[in-house]
Amino acid sequence: MNVAAEEVLEWKNATNWAFLGALSFGECLNLFLIFINARHHDSNNSEGEDVASAKFAFLFISLVLVSFDFYFNTNFQYTLPQSTFKIQNMLLALLTPSADSVYLFRIKNVFSCIKNATIIWLGYQLIYDIYGIRFIITTSILIHVFLTVYRINLTYTLATEVLNLIVMQPYPFELPSKYNVAEPGAKEFKHLMNVFDFGDTTHKLFALYDLRLIAMSDFNRRQEIFALSVPGNFPRNWISAKNICIGIIDSLNDIFVQVNEVIKSIKMHDAALIYCDRSPSSGRTREERLRRTLHPALREKDDKNERFENVAKDEANKEKLQQKLKPNQLSKYDKLVKKILCLWYPPKRTITFLNQTLAVYSIETIANFMVCSYEEDAYGSVQGDVEHIIRRLLVLSNSIDSYSKGKHMLDSQWRIDDELMIKNINTALKECFDLISRQFGEIFKDGQFNDDEQAALRRLL
């Protein structure tokens, strides 16, 4: 598990195959030992051996399929808790049965695995022993398979969830002192702001989460952020916190800008193919020379007919272009082929879960700092940066909107099933502007934003 792990693991990664092999081998070895210990060596009942063989084959196939399904469809990303409850309460909430609990979360996977295992088992029995198909209607084997598959799904899912809760607990970082130290030692360098310069991805996530908690609920530490440095009277901590959040927001915006350029180039290429040049540059085609020899009345009539034909062609071309710009409707066969190819050559993601998490934390952090500064910032450190921050957030909103409207034009090399991540970022932006408008509502009425920024404001407010 890792904070930067892929949402779905790649099939071509050797480490994934090794872990999956160990998982499947352990479960199948357990199954094999159970059948060996349950078998009577002095029994000569061939029908009993057929039943045991059919059960073993069915269970073996089910275990292999459920191992594949769990490993390649489970999110192994570490995530920080959304609430500040104690770990004991979160563990109790996780283990308590409810309509949204983990106990019901894997039921669909269980039935899917059993269905696929049944199909494979029937094919195996048709080749190996066609008379063994009659054992599929046995209630005991179906119950046994269901409980075994459900046990694997439940225990492994609970294990990953509990491990995530234990590991991903918030860690409070030290804030930089407001006093300038002439000769800073190792202790002075170990503070929250320096994590973003020298730390790895995991440390950055923990540090940004702590900065978010400061902005939301820690009054005393917020005063350290708003305080001026001594000597110098410079808002050093606020400048560092602002640059961290704006840097993450701008880096995400750069990703969307690059993908939007790809979408724009695809649109221009498709439009060029449809709207091809119908006349040579010289304009002296054979038809034009013949038309000049006609009587003026006939030439005028011919020009009207040509204009009518051109309008009809333009309308037809527009319809073709609109059809081209619509999302591709793939057949079931095409979807299956695309899914198989994506297993070995996974498409590129525009944004990852880690990008989305860091962006949401940054937006929430900067918004809460701005709102709290209205009453708590005695030095006015934040007030001068409000307009700049708002503009950076509006630029991000416009980039996301352009991407959402045109991402269906990207080819199969791109993975565009990121609606949930886009929704989370847009939700954070809307909540951010809702908070800002309560304290700084007058800034939106001055007419100092351009047309694109005004359009973004209408979406967000």
Q: What is the pLDDT of residues 119-131, one digit of tens each?
A: 887 887 777 777 6
pLDDT at 394 over 90: yes
Amino acid at 98: S
pLDDT at 433 over 90: yes
Domain residue ranges in the chain? 14-167, 186-259+340-460, 269-329
**Higher pLDDT among residues 225 and 76, named by residue:** 225
The percentage of the chain sitting over the pLDDT mark of 70, rounded to a whole number, equals 65
Q: What is the pLDDT of residue 241?
A: 93
Residue 202 token pair: 């995991």
Q: What is the pLDDT of residue 290?
A: 46
Q: What is the mean pLDDT of residues 361-386?
A: 90
pLDDT band at 450 (very low <50, low <70, confident <90, very high): confident
Helix (H) and strand (E) counts in the chain: 18, 2
Count of CA atoms in the C-beta half-sphere (13 A) of 146: 10
- Give the Cβ contact number of residue 248 at 10 Å: 22
Which residues partner with 179 through β-bridges? 230
Instruction: For residues 101 and 243, give the distance between their C-alpha atoms in angstroms, rounded to a whole number.
Output: 40
Burial call 259-288: b when 16+ CB within 10 Å, e when fewer: bbebbeebeeeeeeeeeeeeeeeeeeeeee
> How high does pLDDT run on average in the chain?
75
**Higher pLDDT among residues 201 and 360, named by residue:** 360
* Strand (E) or helix (H) holding 380: none
Is the separation of the CB atoms in 425 and 359 below 8 Å?
Answer: yes
Is the separation of the CB atoms in 208 and 241 below 8 Å?
Answer: no
Q: Burial of 359 by CB count in 10 Å (0-12 exposed, 13-18 middle, 19+ buried)?
A: buried
pLDDT band at 380 (very low <50, low <70, confident <90, very high): confident
pLDDT band at 392 (very low <50, low <70, confident <90, very high): very high
Instruction: For residues 177 and 191, give the distance between their C-alpha atoms in angstroms, rounded to a whole number.
Output: 9
pLDDT band at 325 (very low <50, low <70, confident <90, very high): very low
Q: What is the pLDDT of residue 390?
A: 94
Handedness of CA 413, 415, 416, 421 (dihedral sign): negative
pLDDT at 421 over 60: yes
Per residue in 53-90, pLDDT tens? Answer: 777 777 788 877 877 777 777 767 778 877 666 777 77
Residue 404 token pair: 């959402």
pLDDT at 160 over 60: yes
Per residue in 2-36, pLDDT tens? Answer: 565 555 555 556 556 666 677 677 767 766 666 66
Instruction: For residues 79 and 170, give the distance between their C-alpha atoms in angstroms, rounded to a whole number.
Output: 11
Q: What is the pLDDT of residue 372?
A: 92
DSSP helix/strand/coil, 64: helix
Helices 46-73 & 107-128, crossing angle to 10 degrees?
140
DSSP helix/strand/coil, 448: coil
Is the separation of the CB atoms in 206 and 355 below 8 Å?
Answer: no
Q: What is the pLDDT of residue 388?
A: 92
The percentage of the chain sitting over the pLDDT mark of 90, rounded to a whole number, equals 20
For 363, residues 6+ apart whose C-beta sits below 8 A from its C-beta are 245, 249, 393, 425, 428, 429, 432
Q: End-to-end CA distance of the chain, in Å?
A: 38
Q: What is the pLDDT of residue 281?
A: 45
Per residue in 278-316, pLDDT tens? Answer: 444 444 444 554 455 544 554 554 555 555 455 455 555
Q: What is the pLDDT of residue 79?
A: 81
Instruction: For residues 119 and 124, give the distance between their C-alpha atoms in angstroms, rounded to a whole number.
Output: 9
Q: What is the mean pLDDT of residues 131-156?
A: 74
